[in-house]
Chain A
Amino acid sequence: MADIKDILAKYSGKDDLIPAMQELQKELGFLSEESLEQISKRLKVPLAHISGVATFYSMFKLTPPGKFHISICRGTACHVHDSEQLQKFIEKKLNIKAGEMTKDGKFSLECVNCIGACAKAPAMMINETVYGNLDEKKIEKILNSLK
């Protein structure tokens, strides 16, 4: 794993705050308190401002996600294809609610507002892979195939 300081080396001012947070999250999986403090030092931005930004944008995670992070799409096209039911199915299957992680750290689940795969609705994203035209059987197969 890359060192936080090395990652931050190319960033300097407040304009770089969001890109720096994005890259750190990509490397570390989430933004720990320590990493936010280091960003604050490096970019000379108050921690309170960083905390404000981190909690405003839905993509920033302050707790570690599972090995497989499932984003179930709750956009309009997915909604009319009953993605709410699929969300409930995954919740039941993994025994977690949206926003939570399984005890073994394998899966975490969140609802997102639209991943832009509307023609393939209902859709979900696992890490950076998009899966479309889902139904319960397909989801079961996909989840079982992830090791």
Chain B
Amino acid sequence: MNFANETMMYLTQITDMKKGNDELAGDRITVGLATCGISAGADKTFEKLKQADLGIFLEPVGCAGMCYAEPVVTVKQKGVFSIYGQVTEDKADMLIQAIRNKSVCNELLLGHSLSEIDYYKKQKRLLMENCGKINPLSLNQYVASGGYKGLSNAARKTPEQVIEEVKIAGLRGRGGAGFPTATKWSLIAEKQGKKYLVCNGDEGDPGAFMNRTVMESDPFRLIEGMTIAAYAIGSKDGIIYTRAEYPLAVKTLQTTIDLAKKQTLLGKNILGVKGFDFNIRIKMGAGAFVCGEETALINSIMGNRGNPRFRPPYPAEKGIDGHPTNINNVSTLSFIPIILSMGGLEFTKIGTEKTKGTAVICLAGKIKRPGVVEVPMGTKLREIVFDIGGGPVGNTKFKAIQAGGPSGGCITEKELDTPLDFENITALGAIMGSGGMVVVNDHACMVDVARYFMTFTKGESCGKCTPCREGTTRLFEVLDKITKGLGTRDDLDKARMLALYVKENSLCGLGQGAPNPVLSTLNKFMDEYLAHVDNKECPSHACKNLLKYIILENCVGCGNCTKHCPTGAITGKPKERHVIDQSKCVRCGACYDACAFDAIERK
């Protein structure tokens, strides 16, 4: 294939870059209408602003990552740009009034630019640059923001040169282990015949939602990234495999794929270049975590149960219907247009020696400012949790970050000064995974967290191999016993032995990673385990079976607790100290919350 140099010219013919530019530069009101925004009521805010008929161009955008401040509204009026947070339906009137008065609504103002807001001060927006800025369905705005420059540049190179550029950039897959993307591509580029390109958007890790955010907020970047990848490896068939749990992402992607097809940015002779054909279709998962594993994913695409299989052969040799298949994660593919646009060398200026570029991280859990964060690789974890995330909620204390989901581990306070990259996180006994970080405060019990993950993995184990199917269930049973105060020191040894066995002998990544939360908590929070088995106590008061509520001497006998107790466990005469029957108590804490005299102790 020989590509002409006029690809950029062609692009200006098929899109209205000027219109996109005018829309972005002119007076404009935007409302973040990604899933986070809608769940906070942003759709109602949007409707209200529309009804108000303010005479300013109003449109929906995706999510800028400030999930904590949703619904987020931005207003550009007479050259003044303002970002507003928590603009719920009831507060919208206040903002509407300010817009009518051509003034700034200080009560809701977060800042006049992203860099003014604390949350963004240590962030570096590369992949997320368009998120929350452009209308995800507007190709004109995407192109006006530098979109399709990467593909235009790629089209001037040979496929080998495109792979070389990605190699220079040192891009590593953002889906888990950080395998070099260029190496993966080279393996399949050599193969002849029909090849598939699959985007793995099966973001099943609880605690991770960056793929959803990117697919909902900047879908054209993913489409462009896939088109470049397809060119580099020589594939004409693209599939985005994503979760049915993300209905908005699926809808947004389908709309933008159709739009790209209409503008010949997908389909036959892309960018007017003869023989450059590529199509994308969406396949939805049906609720199986294991389908994030590549061989299980391929089975699912082919209409089978999502069971993984032995490798080799690797998907690059034998994938969908036996054809070579290349699988990359959403973030990885979304980085491609950026690299081809800025140049591989420029990309390496961001990040650490071993891991280049930025990391997109989902902050969630007991943290003040949860959301999607993008930082240069090498940023200290402490900066992510405290400077960006604002630290743990209320006056509680930080306990750990649970990083990498059900195959990950925990990172403690004294490890927080570690700079973020694949190797460092692995050395801490956790994994980068897709980049989910759940912050846990001192109210959470680490044994319970480990038990929680085993509930998850035993439910999601596909059942094909015995170590995972049986091992996760037995591990759950041991941990469940410990959280109920029935465990012994022998159980701790048993848990460690079982965990190591499952890790070493399972067939796929799900089973191999499943014991990690157990091993990691055993290594770092042994004191909590010992309190459960030796003293039958849960130091964090999280394990309900180990809680005990006792009525103290200062009880005045008001009887309020008896009214709130759902099981009738509290008895006593009026104006006399009451008693809790421990055999009837279900440890719901209703009496503890109801007592106005601090006469109930929880231990």
Contact = CB atoms under 8 A, between A and B. Distances in A.
Interface stretch (A2-10, A76-84, A101-109): A76-84
Q: A-side binding surface: helix, strand, loop or mixed?
A: mixed
Nearest to B406: A76
Interface string A120-138: 1101010011111100000
Given A18-B283, A53-B304, A76-B438, A119 B452 contact: no
B371 interface: yes
B35 A18 contact: no
Contact of B287 (A58, A74, A116, A130): A58
A113 B453 CA distance: 11
Interface in A62-107: 74-81
Contact of A118 (B207, B243, B244, B301): B207
B444 A80 contact: yes
A61 to B, nearest CB: 11
Interface string B405-441: 1000000000000000000000000000000101010
Contact of B39 (A14, A17, A80, A123): A123
A115 B245 contact: yes
Contacts of B363: 119
B245 A112 contact: yes
Given A75-B207, A76-B402, A119 B36 contact: yes
Contacts of A130: 35, 38-39
B300 interface: yes
A74 B58 CA distance: 36
Contact of B206 (A17, A18, A77): A77
A22 B286 contact: yes
B291 to A, nearest CB: 9
B36 A117 contact: yes
A16 interface: yes
B39 A76 contact: no
B302 interface: yes
Nearest to B586: A88
Interface string A1-44: 00000000000011111110110000000000000000000000
Interface of B: 35-36, 38-40, 67-68, 70, 203-209, 212, 243-247, 283-289, 300-306, 362-366, 370-372, 402, 405, 436, 438, 440, 444, 449, 452-453, 456, 459-460, 462
> Shortest 6 CB-CB distances between A and B: which pairs?
A119-B67, A75-B206, A57-B286, A17-B303, A118-B364, A114-B206
